[in-house]
Chain A
Amino acid sequence: MVEQSIGKSVLRKEDMRFITGKGQYTDDINLRGQTYGYFVRSPYAHADIGDIDVSAAAGMPGVIAVLTGKQVAEDEIGGLPCGWMIHSKDGSEMKQPHHPVMAGSKVNYVGEPVALVIADSFVEAKNAAEMVDVDYMERDAVVYAETAQSAPIIHEGISANTCYEWELGEKDATEAALASAAHVTNYEFTNNRLIPNAMEPRAAIADFNTATEDLTLYTTSQNPHLVRLIMTAFIQLAPEHKLRVIAPDVGGGFGSKIFVYSEETALAWASMKLGIPIKWTAERSESFLADAHGRDHVTTAHLAMDEEGHFLGLKVKTTANMGAYLSTFASSVPTYLYGTLLAGQYKTPNIYVEVDAVFTNTAPVDAYRGAGRPEATFLLERIVELAARETGRDPVELRRINMIQPSEFPYQTPVALEYDTGDYEASLNRALKMADYDTFGERKAASEAKGKLRGIGFSCYIEACGLAPSQVAGQLGAGVGLWESGEVRVNPTGSVTVLTGTHSHGQGHETTFAQLVASRFGISVDDVEVVHGDTGKLDFGLGTYGSRSLAVGGSALSKAADKVVEKGRLIAAHLLDTDADKIDFDDGEYRVRDSNQAKTFQEIAFAAYVPHDYPLEELEPGLAEKAFYDPGNFTYPAGTHICEVEIDPETGVVEIDRFIAVDDFGTVINPMIVEGQVHGGIAQGIGQALLEGCVYDETGQLQTGSYMDYCMPRADDLPSFAVGLTSTPCTHNPVGAKGCGEAGAIGSPPAVINAITDAIGVRDIPMPATPEKIWRAIASTTRSAA
């Protein structure tokens, strides 16, 4: 009997190759006759392009071709589409500017590609790129969300630089709630713009075979099938059956590798045009400029309460910076991934949210770990904190009295979502205990005794994951389905190959999915191999984002495994000469009920492939099954984060003394992997709260374009996290899983800012809360007290 592995911290099967340098990333792949591409990028945020003189570059050593945006336009390739249609309040469709594969007549952000130099070596391509002479006529740049709607027009025909003016919820009822409230808390803030910074930069190799007319694209993608679909159906590069997209080992994505970008598309086009393989690997400087950024919301919010502290209404107005163009899923982030989450864990009866999405001369902004949900959570958990302070209530108790209770599920929120299950107080109580909240006062006094300031901050988050029920998403404007496929191939010897349409780029699917399938068949995790990331090997799939892989992809595999078990039962019934309904399958054995007659899973597999004694009239040989799973609802992971900080008032330096996360992810397959996902998410959330901030100057030049100026969290910025789990399994998927990939980044930023503002006694501090800002805030409070 093989030990049941679900719920066990099985070591990650993929790590041996990652930590011994045996992984294979896109840049590790080298093809015969491979050439190298280098992109010429705009140094201007907003300029018309005059002549592009490529003659000097074309004559440089090793140069094969110099292709420009003007040629892209001549070949009528592109533009890059946005896959989610949002409608404005007046019913009109969002304004989608043409997003060229490379700019031909006008550049709209610093770093936008205008030409591609292809040469025999990377160095030759890069040297020649310096010689491409582009004539720019500079225009005034539009940079910030706050001012974009009154600034000069970026895209002809898009007035006020406004993509859409969206709303959700009941406006009149919410305004009435605000008008009649005993107390209204107001909060204006910016959710800081972030640059993703996956460890592996984007890279691609496009390889067009002139004989077969097959185009193979190796690329750093979170969803290779979606890349193929978009390049085929929208950009019209190649027919779908002639385009193979391979996303091999990928070193982190965090959302930034969901999208179909200019560079990969230009490379594919150039390879077809020239009939040669071309490789491009982004330099880190290019990643800063041209990967889709995240967040960048400016928000005003009002929370109404009655005398007892019950929330009556929440009214929100947000302006979201889309950047220069609409990236692949950009439009959905500040709308259906944001506005729908504004109920949080609370029974607020009236919610109304308006979102204006605006264009600026900055890099496109799209989903980044959490995508809309961190912005919603930050708003809610900050304004609840402020409401508690303004009315002299304990922030924990204010949250508690407003929480949706376990008996109230399924719970319909006023912002479209129906939560299926949860127990928010269970996570809150557990987190309070782990944080030793009862003795916080003693620790605060001890800090004060040594001249330090101590504060505690809470964040009770919820997210909608498991993207997504296709029909709901379709009604809301999604351009694709959001189901997932899975295939379970039992090999003749009884080992199993699992194919999934999700993609692992750090999440450990090769282990988690192996555990899921191995435990179903009663076989060893080592006997299951997980295949992903190649459109040539898999059925269609939708990739990995929105904490969907286990909840949706795992459910597809679970269903496929069910089919295998059932077929095996029919084979076993034949071999054991009984009826299928008299056979139980458990611990890897098909056993005739109430007898000692049994066949192992391996024996059944062998019989299926060597069908000498087999009911061939009724049953096909072989043992491989597929399933497609479309979820019935989103999943709703939720939990409580608590952050406790100690601040040195002399320097403004924050030390996170403890950070507690208690999350309800439903059924957990591998607690170690889940904990790792939570750790990574919290690190990113603390990065947003304390360190990271993307800054453009008023001319649209990126000021934080390297690690000298963009500060990533490091190990010594972070405490040892205390992570706990509670569980109310998802009610509508067969695994019971809710998803854990984004929770850390969603829950943590408001906990950190609540703790800092508690410690230093100020109402607000903008993210990133750097020591300088904190020191100045402390200085201002001491001045006003003096």
Chain B
Amino acid sequence: MELSQRVRIPVHTDQVWQALNDPAVLQQCLPGCQLFQSTGNNEFEVAVQAKVGPVKATFKGEVALSDVQAPTSCKISGSGKGGVAGFAKGGADVFLEATEDGAGTLMSYKVSASVGGKLAQVGSRLVTGAARKMADDFFSNFVRQLSGDENMQVEIETLEA
């Protein structure tokens, strides 16, 4: 599954960058996230409960930030094991650029996800939808959190792959 999207955030790039590097913010924004704890050196221990079609499982694993170019881009990658549900791997390449007026930020991201085991066996048709929803929810929550507007209608623009 691959997904390229762009979203406009009404705060300065530096502020977005800071939030993107704050485990507490990330945990709040990631649906079903039960644990998002720094283990140092841009690495985090993570537990996320996710449901894909008939399969519901808690995935435990690691998330790492790499290729960090503060404050404009980084690569987030993670993988988790969900016991007999199988495993999930995913990542996002995130790019930040200032809007023309300099006050806001255009955040674009390319998300990829893949699953294995039971999840893939019974849920392959549903994985794309589930991963897309998770990405949408995460980035919408992220924008709302930064904007300080819980009820904000976040408009996410999908880019051609």
Q: List residues of A whose CB falls within 8 A of some B CB.
A: 40, 43-45, 110, 129-131, 285, 288-289, 697, 699, 701-703, 705-706, 708-709
Q: How far is the CA of A44 from the CA of B114 in the complex (A)?
A: 12
Task: Establish whether residues B124 and A701, one from each chain, have CB atoms under 8 Å apart when the complex forms.
Answer: yes
Smallest CB separation, A225 vs chain B (Å): 34
Task: Establish whether residues B118 and A43, one from each chain, have CB atoms under 8 Å apart when the complex forms.
Answer: yes
Q: How far is the CA of A429 from the CA of B114 in the complex (A)?
A: 54
Across the interface, name the chain B residue whose C-beta is closest to A705: B121
Q: Choose among B83, B84, B116, B122 the residue that contacts A44 (Cβ–Cβ < 8 A).
A: B116
> Can you name 30 A-B residue pairings with CB atoms under 8 Å?
A40-B84, A43-B86, A43-B116, A43-B117, A43-B118, A43-B120, A44-B87, A44-B116, A45-B116, A110-B121, A129-B84, A130-B84, A131-B83, A285-B118, A288-B121, A697-B120, A697-B124, A699-B114, A699-B116, A701-B116, A701-B117, A701-B120, A701-B121, A702-B120, A703-B121, A705-B122, A705-B124, A706-B121, A706-B122, A708-B122
Enumerate chain B residues within 8 angstroms of A130, measured Cβ to Cβ: 83-84
Smallest CB separation, B112 vs chain A (Å): 12
Q: How far is the CA of A701 from the CA of B119 in the complex (A)?
A: 10
Task: Establish whether residues A702 and B114, one from each chain, have CB atoms under 8 Å apart when the complex forms.
Answer: no
Task: Establish whether residues A703 and B122, one from each chain, have CB atoms under 8 Å apart when the complex forms.
Answer: no
Enumerate chain A residues within 8 angstroms of B121, measured Cβ to Cβ: 110, 285, 288-289, 701-703, 705-706
Within 8 A of A (CB), among B103-161: 114-118, 120-122, 124-125
Q: Choose among B87, B114, B120 the residue that contacts A705 (Cβ–Cβ < 8 A).
A: B120
Across the interface, name the chain A residue whose C-beta is closest to B120: A701
Looking at B114, B120, B125, which has the most chain A CB atoms within 10 Å of its CB? B120
Across the interface, name the chain B residue whose C-beta is closest to A111: B121
Enumerate chain B residues within 8 angstroms of A697, measured Cβ to Cβ: 120, 124
Smallest CB separation, B113 vs chain A (Å): 12
Across the interface, name the chain B residue whose C-beta is closest to A126: B84
Q: How far is the CA of A59 from the CA of B132 in the complex (A)?
A: 39
Looking at B86, B114, B116, B124, which has the most chain A CB atoms within 10 Å of its CB? B116
Task: Establish whether residues B84 and A703, one from each chain, have CB atoms under 8 Å apart when the complex forms.
Answer: no
Task: Establish whether residues A43 and B125, one from each chain, have CB atoms under 8 Å apart when the complex forms.
Answer: no
Smallest CB separation, A174 vs chain B (Å): 43
Enumerate chain A residues within 8 angstroms of B117, measured Cβ to Cβ: 43-44, 110, 701
Enumerate chain A residues within 8 angstroms of B122, measured Cβ to Cβ: 285, 705-706, 708
Enumerate chain B residues within 8 angstroms of A43, measured Cβ to Cβ: 86-87, 116-118, 120
Smallest CB separation, B5 vs chain A (Å): 23
Q: How far is the CA of A110 from the CA of B120 in the complex (A)?
A: 10
Enumerate chain B residues within 8 angstroms of A131, measured Cβ to Cβ: 83
Q: How far is the CA of A48 from the CA of B63 in the complex (A)?
A: 22
Enumerate chain B residues within 8 angstroms of A285, measured Cβ to Cβ: 118, 121-122
Enumerate chain A residues within 8 angstroms of B125, measured Cβ to Cβ: 708-709
Across the interface, name the chain B residue whose C-beta is closest to A696: B120
Task: Establish whether residues A701 and B115, one from each chain, have CB atoms under 8 Å apart when the complex forms.
Answer: yes
Enumerate chain A residues within 8 angstroms of B116, measured Cβ to Cβ: 43-45, 110, 699, 701
Q: How far is the CA of A110 from the CA of B121 in the complex (A)?
A: 10
Smallest CB separation, B53 vs chain A (Å): 8
Q: List residues of B whose CB falls within 8 A of some A CB.
A: 83-84, 86-87, 114-118, 120-122, 124-125
Q: How far is the CA of A112 from the CA of B35 in the complex (A)?
A: 32
Across the interface, name the chain B residue whose C-beta is closest to A285: B121
Across the interface, name the chain B residue whose C-beta is closest to A131: B83
Task: Establish whether residues A703 and B120, one from each chain, have CB atoms under 8 Å apart when the complex forms.
Answer: yes
Smallest CB separation, B131 vs chain A (Å): 14
Enumerate chain B residues within 8 angstroms of A288, measured Cβ to Cβ: 121
Enumerate chain B residues within 8 angstroms of A703, measured Cβ to Cβ: 120-121, 124
Smallest CB separation, B153 vs chain A (Å): 34
Across the interface, name the chain A residue whose C-beta is closest to B114: A699
Enumerate chain A residues within 8 angstroms of B83, measured Cβ to Cβ: 130-131
Q: How far is the CA of A588 from the CA of B116 in the complex (A)?
A: 65
Smallest CB separation, A772 vs chain B (Å): 14
Looking at A285, A288, A703, which has the most chain B CB atoms within 10 Å of its CB? A703
- The 4 nearest A-B residue pairs measured at CB: A43-B117, A705-B121, A701-B120, A703-B124
Smallest CB separation, B152 vs chain A (Å): 37
A-B contacts besides A43-B87, A129-B84, 6 pairs, CB < 8 Å: A44-B87, A45-B116, A130-B83, A701-B114, A701-B121, A701-B124
Smallest CB separation, A130 vs chain B (Å): 5
Q: How far is the CA of A40 from the CA of B122 in the complex (A)?
A: 17
Q: How far is the CA of A708 from the CA of B53 in the complex (A)?
A: 11
Enumerate chain B residues within 8 angstroms of A702, measured Cβ to Cβ: 120-121
Smallest CB separation, B16 vs chain A (Å): 33
Q: How far is the CA of A765 from the CA of B116 in the complex (A)?
A: 30
Q: How far is the CA of A639 from the CA of B112 in the complex (A)?
A: 52
Q: How far is the CA of A43 from the CA of B87 in the complex (A)?
A: 7
Across the interface, name the chain B residue whose C-beta is closest to A289: B121
Q: How far is the CA of A616 from the CA of B60 in the complex (A)?
A: 81
Smallest CB separation, A591 vs chain B (Å): 67
Q: How far is the CA of A578 from the CA of B78 in the complex (A)?
A: 93
Q: How far is the CA of A130 from the CA of B57 in the complex (A)?
A: 11
Enumerate chain B residues within 8 angstroms of A709, measured Cβ to Cβ: 124-125
Q: How far is the CA of A285 from the CA of B54 in the complex (A)?
A: 13
Across the interface, name the chain B residue whose C-beta is closest to A47: B116
Enumerate chain B residues within 8 angstroms of A706, measured Cβ to Cβ: 121-122
Smallest CB separation, B54 vs chain A (Å): 9
Smallest CB separation, B130 vs chain A (Å): 15
Enumerate chain A residues within 8 angstroms of B124, measured Cβ to Cβ: 697, 701, 703, 705, 709
Enumerate chain A residues within 8 angstroms of B114, measured Cβ to Cβ: 699, 701
Q: How far is the CA of A313 from the CA of B116 in the complex (A)?
A: 46
Enumerate chain B residues within 8 angstroms of A701, measured Cβ to Cβ: 114-117, 120-121, 124
Smallest CB separation, B90 vs chain A (Å): 13
Smallest CB separation, A287 vs chain B (Å): 11
Q: How far is the CA of A43 from the CA of B123 in the complex (A)?
A: 14
Across the interface, name the chain B residue whose C-beta is closest to A43: B117
Across the interface, name the chain B residue whose C-beta is closest to A706: B122
Enumerate chain A residues within 8 angstroms of B84, measured Cβ to Cβ: 40, 129-130
Across the interface, name the chain A residue whose C-beta is closest to B126: A708
Enumerate chain B residues within 8 angstroms of A289, measured Cβ to Cβ: 121
Enumerate chain B residues within 8 angstroms of A110, measured Cβ to Cβ: 116-117, 120-121
Q: How far is the CA of A43 from the CA of B122 in the complex (A)?
A: 13
Across the interface, name the chain A residue whose C-beta is closest to B117: A43
Q: How far is the CA of A131 from the CA of B114 in the complex (A)?
A: 23
Q: How far is the CA of A129 from the CA of B118 in the complex (A)?
A: 14
Smallest CB separation, B82 vs chain A (Å): 9
Q: How far is the CA of A139 from the CA of B115 in the complex (A)?
A: 15
Q: How far is the CA of A62 from the CA of B155 in the complex (A)?
A: 53
Across the interface, name the chain B residue whose C-beta is closest to A42: B117
Smallest CB separation, A102 vs chain B (Å): 16
Enumerate chain A residues within 8 angstroms of B120, measured Cβ to Cβ: 43, 110, 697, 701-703, 705
Q: How far is the CA of A128 from the CA of B121 in the complex (A)?
A: 21
Enumerate chain A residues within 8 angstroms of B118, measured Cβ to Cβ: 43, 285
Enumerate chain B residues within 8 angstroms of A705, measured Cβ to Cβ: 120-122, 124
Smallest CB separation, B70 vs chain A (Å): 31
Smallest CB separation, B129 vs chain A (Å): 14
Q: How far is the CA of A130 from the CA of B83 in the complex (A)?
A: 6
Q: How far is the CA of A215 from the CA of B117 in the complex (A)?
A: 34
Across the interface, name the chain A residue whose C-beta is closest to B116: A43
Across the interface, name the chain A residue whose C-beta is closest to B86: A43
Across the interface, name the chain A residue whose C-beta is closest to B87: A43
Looking at B84, B121, B122, B124, which has the most chain A CB atoms within 10 Å of its CB? B121
Smallest CB separation, A39 vs chain B (Å): 11
Smallest CB separation, B114 vs chain A (Å): 6
Smallest CB separation, A581 vs chain B (Å): 69
Q: How far is the CA of A40 from the CA of B83 in the complex (A)?
A: 10
Smallest CB separation, B105 vs chain A (Å): 35
Q: How far is the CA of A532 from the CA of B74 in the complex (A)?
A: 67
Enumerate chain B residues within 8 angstroms of A708, measured Cβ to Cβ: 122, 125
Enumerate chain A residues within 8 angstroms of B86, measured Cβ to Cβ: 43
Enumerate chain B residues within 8 angstroms of A45, measured Cβ to Cβ: 116
Smallest CB separation, B58 vs chain A (Å): 11
Q: How far is the CA of A266 from the CA of B125 in the complex (A)?
A: 33
Smallest CB separation, B143 vs chain A (Å): 32
Q: How far is the CA of A45 from the CA of B86 in the complex (A)?
A: 12
